[in-house]
Structure 1
Amino acid sequence: MSALPDPVWPVLVLALIQVVDGILCLRPVAFIARCFEDVHFPRRYWWVMAPLKFAAAAGLIAGIWIPYLGVITCLALVLYFLLAISGHLRARDFGRNLFLNATGMLVICILTPLASFVW
């Protein structure tokens, strides 16, 4: 079994999601700004989110050729979304941001490296 992803498409889809999310976080669009506010994420740190998303996308793309980098990046994204979910729970934000966005992304990040075993 190879340490490189096969098939590659789940990694590319997750990387594309991260790029789009990074673009939306550059100057947070209304629904992202509202999400940050709902979980009481300090405004002075909002700028960090876009570079994190772009770094995740870069790690996923590079992981296509660098063994285990994609898996490590997926694990980092799993941790990120676990922290996001805990932030939503702590803020009692039980709406769309928790159940659709954060939990949905957690599932995608968990399934992406597992796709190599399924296909």
Structure 2
Amino acid sequence: MKLLLIPDPWWLPAILAASLLVDAVLSIRPPKFIDDCLSGVGFPRDWWWTLILVKVLAAAGLLVGLHTEGVGLAAVVGVIAYFLAASYAHIRARFTGTEFWLNCLGMLAFSCATLLISYIG
């Protein structure tokens, strides 16, 4: 097993970055499903801006990592940690409806697939 410091294929981290950027932009004026999700896990509304910042920084790290060794790998590991924490928050709050299964676990699975396919050869 060889750890890759530049992703191959590159397009998986690029799609993950685009997904995170879209999520961050939507979170500026959250639609109902994002509002329901954050409220459902009891995340304080005064702190919602931090999630936007985290997603933008993660997307930037993934994009920079397309050409800078190790940056994308660190970013995808951070994204996985983010969605693991989000999954824990959903389970702890017993908020395990559609938002949990599709959004949270879906993004966790996509992030893990990106790590395995693009960075672990």
Query: What is the TM-score with the length of structure 1 in the denominator?
Result: 0.93
Most deviating of 44-53 and 58-67: 44-53
CA displacement at 1:45 relative to structure 2: 0.1
Query: d(CA) in 1 for partners of 2:19 and 2:92?
Result: 26
The within-5 A match list for 1:16-31 is 16-31=18-33
Aligned twin of 2:102: 100
Mark the CA change 1:117 to 1:25 in structure 2 (over 3 Å): closer, same or farther.
Answer: closer
Residue 68 of structure 2 aligns with which residue?
66
Between the aligned partners of 2:95 and 2:68, the Cα distance in structure 1 is 38
Counterpart Cα distance in 2 of 1:64 and 1:52: 19
Q: Using the alignment, how far apart are the partners of 1:112 and 1:54 within structure 2?
A: 18
- One-letter amino acid matched to 2:15: V
Q: How many Å apart are 1:116 and its aligned residue? A: 2.9
Q: Which amino acid aligns with 1:5?
A: P
Deviation larger for 68-77 or 2-11: 2-11
1:65-84 equivalence runs, <5 A: 65-84=67-86
Aligned pairs for 1:50-61 within 5 A:
50-61=52-63
The alignment-based identity, stated in percent, is: 38
Q: 2:119, 2:34 → 1: CA distance?
A: 34
5+ residue gaps, structure 2, are none
Residue of structure 1 equivalent to 2:48: 46
Paired positions, count: 119
Q: Over aligned residue pairs, what C-alpha RMSD do you find?
A: 1.6
Distance of 1:116 and 1:93 partners within structure 2: 32
C-alpha distance in 1, partners of 2:109/2:96? Answer: 17
Q: Take 1:27 and 1:18, find their aligned partners in 2: how far apart are those partners?
A: 15
- Larger RCO (CA within 8 A; separation ≥ 6): 2
Q: Which runs of 5+ in 1 are unaligned?
A: none
| Bigger mean CA deviation after superposition, 11-20 or 25-34 | 25-34
